[in-house]
Amino acid sequence: HKCFALVKDVKVFVSTEDNQPYLSIPCSEHKITSAVWGPLGEFVIAGHENGEINQFSAKSGDILKKIKEHTKQINDIQSSVDNTMFITASKDNTAKLFDSTSLDHIKTFRTERPVNSAAISPIMDHVVMGGGQEAMEVTTTSTRIGKFEARFFHAAYEEEFGRVKGHFGPINCVAFHPDGKSYSSGGEDGYVRIHYFDPQYFDFELEV
């Protein structure tokens, strides 16, 4: 199957009920696994099966910029609340922070398991990551009760400072609430867990 990035103009779709995409960007080699809009809607940032990240122009579909910082598939891309930067979650056991416009690589967060999803806190210098094994690999590994964890890293120091247990299976999706006071995670176990941070979370500081 060929792979396409489809850009739909939501406004047009609603008014004309025409199901046709506004722009269709073919992508033949490595399929696109995740994508977000650029800050001013001028381009789409897409992550690929092989770890590549490309900026596709939303007008022409041309590649404006391309980088390859990850070595394996990109599972998720999420933007910061102001769209100035985005975080990628990859099968290569890392998540990376990039500048949306320049695609400069800013930070790397390392774990020992594939990262399925990552998000940037709207109000703190924190990122949250969730992951685990691919569903079909979870046969004998870590079927311990509730031991799949969401992991919190400090965005500037690249150091992990906290973990939240609770999921029975790998975490597929994480997201911060827009007000930054809670986060949610969805997992292979079929549960969505909503966590509100306690006051200590906002006061916490790594030794400087």
Q: Which residues bind other proteins (CB under 8 A)?
A: 39-41, 82, 84-85, 99, 101, 106-107, 112-113, 125, 133, 137, 141-142, 144, 155-158, 178-179, 206-208
In the complex, minimum distance from the CB of residue 3 to other proteins, in angstroms, rounded to a whole number? 28
- Which CB sits closer to other proteins, 3 or 175? 175
Closest of 151, 45, 184 to residue 104, by C-alpha: 45
Nearby residues of 120 by Cβ (< 8 Å), 6 or more positions away: 78, 79, 80, 81, 85, 86, 87, 97, 126, 127, 155, 176
In the complex, minimum distance from the CB of residue 166 to other proteins, in angstroms, rounded to a whole number? 18
- Which CB sits closer to other proteins, 29 or 112? 112
Q: What is the CA radius of gyration of the chain?
A: 18
- Which CB sits closer to other proteins, 146 or 178? 178
- Which CB sits closer to other proteins, 63 or 81? 81
Question: Which DSSP string corresponds to 142-158?
Answer: ---TT-EEEEEEETTT-
In the complex, minimum distance from the CB of residue 2 to other proteins, in angstroms, rounded to a whole number? 31
Q: At 136, is the secondary structure helix, strand, or coil?
A: helix
